[in-house]
Amino acid sequence: MKKTTNNKQQTTKLTEEEVKHVAKLARLTLTPRAVKKFQKQLSEVLDYIEILKKVKTKGVGSTFQVTGLESVFREDKVAGPSLPQKEVLSGSKSIHNGMFKIKAIFE
Amino acid sequence: MELHQLTIKEAQERLRTKKFSSLELVKSCLGRIKKLDSKINAFITVCEKEALEGAKKADKIISHQSSVISHQSLLGIPIAVKDIFCTKGIKTTAGSKVLEDYIPVYDSTVVKRLKDVGAIILGKTNMDAWAHGSSGENSDFGATRNPWDFEYVPGGSSSGSAAALAADMALLATGTDTGGSIRLPASFCSLVGLKPTYGRVSRYGIIAMASSLDSIGHFTKNIIDSAIILNITAGQDSYDATTPRTPVPDYTKNLKKGIKGLKIGIPKEYFIKGLNKEMEKKVKETIKKLEKLGARLVNISLPHTEYALAVYYIIQPSEVSSNLARYDGIRFGFSRDRFADEARRRIMLGTYALSAGYYEAYYLKAMQVRSLIKKDFDEAFQKVDVLMAPVSPTLPFKLGEKVNDPLQMYLSDIFTVTANLAGIPGLSIPIGFIPSASSGQALPVGIQILGPQFSEELLFQVGYAYEEKTQWYKRKPEL
C-alpha cells in the first residue's frame, strides 16, 4: 500500500462516491474524469474551510440576513396585471396545449 | 476630447445645452464598441438598432421640451448593463450557455428605473457565468480583456462592465457584487465601483447568485457619476422585501463637504504577508494624503477577518446551489448539462454543505462566524467613521494564470467578501498605477472605503476629497 502521509496537501476529504452522490442530488451528470477532477478541487476548498474549526462559536447567534427586517408585509391586493399566457410561455421549448410540458414524476 | 470619453455629468450638461445630440453621443460609443470589442470582448449582446432609435427619440424630447431633462436625468445617455440584469426583449444570459437564448419578458427594477429616467441601453456585458469568478474567465462566451493591457484580466465577475467603461464604450455600466464582483474589477480597470449596502438597491429581476449577499451597484468614471446613479437606483421596492424604507438622500448634495476631522480606520488584518509591496505602499500613500486633507487616522483591528473567505465559501455556494436548482430547462433556457465547471463546483459544494449530517458543521458554523465578522465591523464603527483597505492582495493577473486553480482564484476576494458578509457598503476608487513586474506595463490600483450600513453618502465624500486632488479618472488606456 502506498504511503500518503508525506503528501503535503491532504486531498482525500471527499471520496469519489461522495462526489457522485452530491452530483446526483444536484441533478448534474459527471464524466468519470470530471469526478476525479472535482474530487481534488472540492477537497482542497473543504480543507481550506477547516480553518473555521479554530473559531469558538459556543453561544454565538447565527446571521442569516443583515437587514434586520422582519415580517415584511404589503397590502393584501393584487399587485398589478399578470403576464399574458403567451409571454409566460415565450421562453419554453417544451409546451403542450398552452402549458409547460414537464417530465413524468411517476413512471 | 471625444464624446465617448465624457462623464455622465458632463454629457448631461452638454446634451441640455445642445452642444451635441444624443444620437452623436450614442454613435460615438457604438463606434468605440465596433473598433475595440473584437479584441476586448466586453459585450455579449449589442443593441445597435434599438440604441439608435432610443437616441433619436431622446433628441426629439430634448428639442421640443428641454424642461423634461430635469426630470429625466439620464435622457439620451448610453449605458451598458451587466448580462445578469433582466432586460425586457433583450437576451439575458448571465454569462452561461444554460441561458444562451433566454429573452426576459420583464425588466429588473434597476433597469426599469434607469430606462424611466431616459437612459439608453447599448448592450449587455460579458461576465463570469452566474457571476462566479474573479477574472471574467469563467464566462461561457469567452474571456474579457483588460483595456489597460490585453494580456491581463479585467477582474470579475462584472468583467465586461468594467472593461466596457474603462475603454469608454459607455458612460455607465451596471454590476453586481456578491463577494467583490464590482470592487475588484473597478480596481483592476481604474474605475469607481460602488457596492451599496445590502438592500439599498433592489435585487428584483437580477439573476440570483447568493441571495443574502448579492448587492446591486455600478461602475462610473468618477465619484459624482456614482452618486448620480445611486440617486436613481436606491430605494424601497415592493418586489424585493429586503429593501428597507430607509430614506434615500440626494447623494450628490454633500459630496464636497470635505473630510476635516473624519476618523479613518486602518484595519491591520488587511495589511498581511502576501499583500503586494508596491500596492501596500500606494495604499498607505493614499491614506496619508487623506490625513493631509484633514482626516484622522486610527489603527483598528477586525480580528475575525482571516475567517471571512472560509465563511464566504460555505454561505455563497450553499445559496448558489439553492438558487441554481431552478434551472431545469423547462420554462426557459437549456438543461443542466450546460452548466460549466465553476457553476458545477459551487452547486456541488453547496449541496454538500447543506446535506444531512453536514449542515451544522458547515452552514450553521459559517452563519455564527458571520455574526462575529459583523460584530467586528459594528465595534470598529463605534471608533471610526470609515475604514480604508486594499481591494485585493495583488495587481491584475494575467489571463490563464489562476484559471486551473479554483482556490487561488477564490483568494483574490479575500479583502472584499467581508463587506458582503456584514452587509455594509464599499466604494472602490482608483489610486494610481504600478508597473507590472513582468512587462513593465502600468496597471491600475484601487483602494476600498468601507462604512456602516447606509453610509454611502459619507463614502462618496471621502472618495471625492481624494479624487478632487488626484483625478486619476482623467488618465485613459492607450487603445
Supply the DSSP string of B16-56, one letter for each residue. HTTSS-HHHHHHHHHHHHHHHHHHH--EEEE-HHHHHHHHH
Contact indicator for B82, B173 with CB cutoff of 8 Å = yes
Touching check for B242 and chain A: CB below 8 Å? yes
CA angle B285, B419, B372 (to 5 degrees): 115
Strands B426-435 and B192-195, how do they pair? antiparallel
Taking chain B (479 residues) in runs of 10, the rounded mean pLDDT of each run is 96 94 98 98 98 97 74 94 98 98 98 98 98 97 97 97 98 98 98 98 98 98 98 96 96 97 97 92 97 98 97 97 96 97 97 91 95 98 98 94 89 95 98 88 96 98 98 94
Name the minimum distance, in Å, from the CA of B395 to any CA of chain A.
Answer: 23
What pLDDT, on the 0 to 100 scale, is given for residue B67? 64
Touching check for A94 and chain B: CB below 8 Å? yes
Q: Pull the grid cell for residue B418.
A: 467581508
For residue A5, pLDDT over 50 is answered with no
Candidates A25, A63, A72; nearest CB to B367: A63
Name the minimum distance, in Å, from the CA of A107 to any CA of chain B.
Answer: 19
Mean pLDDT score across all residues of chain A: 87
Q: Which of B346, B349, B372, B375 is most worth mutating to test chain A (most A CB atoms within 10 A of its CB)?
A: B349
pTM of the predicted structure, to 2 decimals = 0.96
Q: Establish whether B96 is a catalytic residue.
A: no
* Cell 461522495 belongs to residue: A18
Touching check for A55 and chain B: CB below 8 Å? yes
Q: Return the amino acid letter for B307.
A: Y
Compute the distance between CA of residue A30 and CA of residue A66 in angstroms, rounded to an integer.
36
What pLDDT, on the 0 to 100 scale, is given for residue A2? 37
Q: Please pick, among B22, B157, B215, B436, the residue that the annotation labels catalytic.
A: B157
Q: Phi/psi at B192 (nearest 5 deg)?
A: -90, 125
> B313 and A66 in contact by Cβ < 8 A?
no
Contacts of B212 in chain A (CB under 8 A): 64-66
**Interface confidence (ipTM) of the complex:** 0.91
What pLDDT, on the 0 to 100 scale, is given for residue B273? 85
What pLDDT, on the 0 to 100 scale, is given for residue B424? 98
pLDDT 10s digits, B275-328: 999 999 999 999 999 999 999 999 999 999 999 999 999 999 999 999 999 999
Contacts of B453 in chain A (CB under 8 A): 66
Sign of CA pseudo-dihedral B252, B257, B263, B268: positive
For residue A4, pLDDT over 90 is answered with no
What pLDDT, on the 0 to 100 scale, is given for residue A106? 84
What pLDDT, on the 0 to 100 scale, is given for residue B69? 61
What pLDDT, on the 0 to 100 scale, is given for residue B66? 62
CA angle B38, B40, B46 (to 5 degrees): 65
Contact indicator for B188, B154 with CB cutoff of 8 Å = yes
Strand order in the sheet with B215-220: B43-46, B120-125, B78-82, B173-177, B215-220, B192-195, B426-435, B442-450, B386-390, B263-267, B296-300
Compute the distance between CA of residue B340 and CA of residue B330 in angstroms, rounded to an integer.
19
Q: Establish whether B181 is a catalytic residue.
A: yes
Compute the distance between CA of residue A44 and CA of residue B467 in angstroms, rounded to an integer.
41
Q: Enumerate the domain spans of chain A.
A: 2-53
Please, which residues have CB within 8 angstroms of residue B381's CB and are 6 or more apart in sequence? B451, B452
Q: Cβ of B234: how many Cβ atoms within 10 Å?
A: 25
Touching check for B236 and chain A: CB below 8 Å? no
pLDDT 10s digits, B332-386: 999 999 999 999 999 999 999 999 888 888 999 999 999 999 999 999 999 999 9
Tell me whether the omega of the peptide bond preceding residue B157 falls within 30 degrees of 0, making it cis: yes
Helix (H, G, I), strand (E, B) or coil at B389: strand
What pLDDT, on the 0 to 100 scale, is given for residue B71? 77
Touching check for A39 and chain B: CB below 8 Å? no
Sign of CA pseudo-dihedral B330, B336, B338, B339: positive
Q: Pull the grid cell for residue B370.
A: 458571520
Distances (CA, A) of B308 to B96, B112, B270, B415, B421: 28, 34, 12, 9, 8
Q: Pull the grid cell for residue B7.
A: 462623464
Give bridge partners of residue B388 from the DSSP assignment.
B449
What pLDDT, on the 0 to 100 scale, is given for residue B70? 66
Sketch out chain B's domains with CATH numbers.
3-474 (3.90.1300.10)
Q: What is the DSSP letter of B240?
A: B
Q: Cβ of B122: how many Cβ atoms within 10 Å?
A: 29
> A41 and B352 in contact by Cβ < 8 A?
no
Touching check for B20 and chain A: CB below 8 Å? no
> A62 and B329 in contact by Cβ < 8 A?
no
Name the minimum distance, in Å, from the CA of B111 to any CA of chain A.
Answer: 18
> B333 and A91 in contact by Cβ < 8 A?
yes
Q: Return the amino acid letter for B260.
A: K
Note the CATH architecture for domain A2-53. Orthogonal Bundle (1.10)
Compute the distance between CA of residue B456 and CA of residue B254 in angstroms, rounded to an integer.
11
Q: Cβ of B363: how many Cβ atoms within 10 Å?
A: 20
Percentage of residues in chain B with pLDDT exceeding 90?
A: 92
Q: Which of A52, A56, A94 is most worth mutating to test chain B (most B CB atoms within 10 A of its CB)?
A: A52
Contacts of A38 in chain B (CB under 8 A): 344-345, 348
User: Which residues between 146 and 205 in chain B have a beta carbon less than 8 angstroms from any beta carbon of chain A?
Assistant: 198-199
Distances (CA, A) of B310 to A17, B101, B255, B346, B387: 24, 35, 36, 14, 22
Q: Cβ of B478: how many Cβ atoms within 10 Å?
A: 6
What pLDDT, on the 0 to 100 scale, is given for residue A1? 35
Helix (H, G, I), strand (E, B) or coil at B70: helix
